[in-house]
Amino acid sequence: MAAIPATFVPLTVADGVRVSAGRTPGKVALREGERTLTYAALRSRVHRVGNAALAGLGLTSGDHVAVVAGNRLEYVELVVGLAGAGLAVVTISPASSAAEMSYIVADSKVRALVVDRACEEVARSVADAAGIPVVLLDDGYEDWLGAARDSHPGVVPDEWDAMVVHYTSGTTGEPKGVLCPHRSRTLNYLAMAAEYGAYGPRDHGLTIAPMYHGAGLSFTLANVFLGGSATILPRFDPEAVLAGFAAEPITNAFMVPTHFHGLFGLGDERVAAIGHGALKTIVSNAAPLSQAMKERIVDVIGDGYLFECYGSTEAGVVSNLAPADQLRKERSVGLPFPATEVRLLDEEGHEVGVGDVGELFSRSPYLFTGYQGREAATAAALRDGWFSAGDLAVRDDEGYLYLVDRKGDKIITGGLNVYPREVEEVLARHPAVDEASVFGVADERWGEAIRASVTLAPGASGRLDVEEVLAFCREQLAGYKVPKHVEVVEALPRNAGGKVLRRVLRDRAEAGR
């Protein structure tokens, strides 16, 4: 391997902030309500965060620090400042129980907690049990920063060091810490700028999704790393989202399907205003948008804005469906993301042909480096540099990818394979159904019986004619794919990233039999 030249500058998000502070020190980098931070102020606070952690808390490069907070201005300076000082930031949902938080703190060997008041009691009990310090964002934080030096902390992290550690939701087992290095995150930001055309010095993002989730954080940091601006919403509120678009020249936003459903609850006429401003791009992820919702977004907001990406915490963005293809390529997750290779393999590891189902593997500069403390799991997930999240897909003759389902979600009923996603898409086309989740439960006769949980569409009556819905399914599905039981629920259970938790629905159904 060739020697690294002395002029080499590692790719880190902190360096992006420092460069922007040198170019445009007075520019507003972050806004939350009435609070703002210029790039000069952000650089100063980033330096102080790093020094306060190293000198004030006695931490050393490579240690893990957990941030347990909702969306707020300080979240960005904490991630950038801690990571810039060589510390790995472990993101934890402020809604976590004591048991959930304790698990992550122990598993990731967290050396300190930074928390907001909403979760102070739980966090302090966890910290006391672990014997680690707590920094409270709402009490003493400014004093903590003020006592630290406003200068570079003197640590230059390697770009392969972990920048953040995001814990998987545990939908396929116990949560695992995903080690995301500086290099993969920053290269992902650059690729986003190239692919979406809305991330750069002249752009302004609206942060809607929680930053303790990987995608919410990445789409926010991309704006800051590349010298743009970001307006941060503390939580999702449809009225606040519309107000955010109206108050600033928003060019980019990341949203999940739940956000779109909430927005359209305010009425199409009000939502249409989003497309009348500076908007360039809205990226959707976490769960597939129904074709009906895509058509509504295109009709109401405009036909040149919506991107739908597919990816994972481990792989970053894997594929992307561009605005021009939203209605042309129904159900597709698009083409591979820049610098990303995709292979679809059968059970023997051979590539499958056009139209055949295979497990999706990807390789790119955006991959994680491993699971925290789990060498065997890392080796199993990264096969010769290729990663699979366990999703099954097909590819058409133009190279577009279509997800079939998760390998582990496949239902075997009467000896026949059924992929829940196909049934969900049919159910979602029924005019009385808003969203649907399909899963299998143990059944003496069928091995697994297909069940569906659905939410009612806005304007639908309070009751669902189940027999009519089943008849609707029989018109479009083979008989063995039609659910044996359909129930109406008020809302589908989701994780922090917006993904539906089929496991929760399955457990409820099994317990209620």
- Residue 450 belongs to domain with CATH number: 3.30.300.30
For 487, the token pair is 């129930």
For 179, the token pair is 């080690």
The residues, ordered by sequence, that sit 6+ positions from 170 with a Cβ below 8 Å of its Cβ are: none
Residue 496 maps to a domain: yes
pLDDT at residue 174, rounded to an integer? 77
Residue 334 maps to a domain: no
Q: Which of these three, 103, 129, 157, is where a domain ends?
A: 157
pLDDT at residue 501, rounded to an integer? 86
- Residue 45 belongs to domain with CATH number: 3.40.50.980
Residue 191 maps to a domain: no
Residue 36 maps to a domain: yes
Residue 277 maps to a domain: no
pLDDT at residue 6, rounded to an integer? 58
Which pairs count as long-range contacts for 363-366, CB under 8 Å and 24+ apart, including other chains?
A: 363/387, 364/315, 364/316, 364/318, 364/337, 364/339, 364/340, 365/183, 365/184, 365/187, 365/188, 365/339, 366/184, 366/185, 366/187, 366/188, 366/191, 366/315, 366/316, 366/317, 366/337, 366/339, 366/340
pLDDT averages per 10-residue partition of the chain, 513 residues: 58 93 97 97 98 96 97 98 98 90 96 95 96 94 96 93 88 80 96 96 96 94 97 97 97 92 94 94 87 93 95 94 95 96 94 95 97 94 91 95 80 78 89 91 81 88 86 88 92 82 85 70
For 23, the token pair is 């170019």
Report the DSSP pairing between strands 110-115 and 64-68.
parallel
Residue 390 maps to a domain: no
Domains contained in the chain, number? 2
Q: Which of these three, 122, 157, 192, is where a domain ends?
A: 157
pLDDT at residue 477, rounded to an integer? 86
Residue 442 maps to a domain: yes
For 314, the token pair is 């481990």
Residue 391 maps to a domain: no
Q: Which of these three, 157, 182, 205, is where a domain ends?
A: 157
Q: What is the span of the domain harbouring residue 418?
A: 410-512
The residue type at 3: A
**Distance between CA atoms of residues 322 and 465, nearest Å:** 37
For 290, the token pair is 């129904």
The residues, ordered by sequence, that sit 6+ positions from 482 with a Cβ below 8 Å of its Cβ are: 423, 450, 470, 473, 474
Q: What sign does the dihedral 458-460-466-468 (CA atoms) show?
A: negative
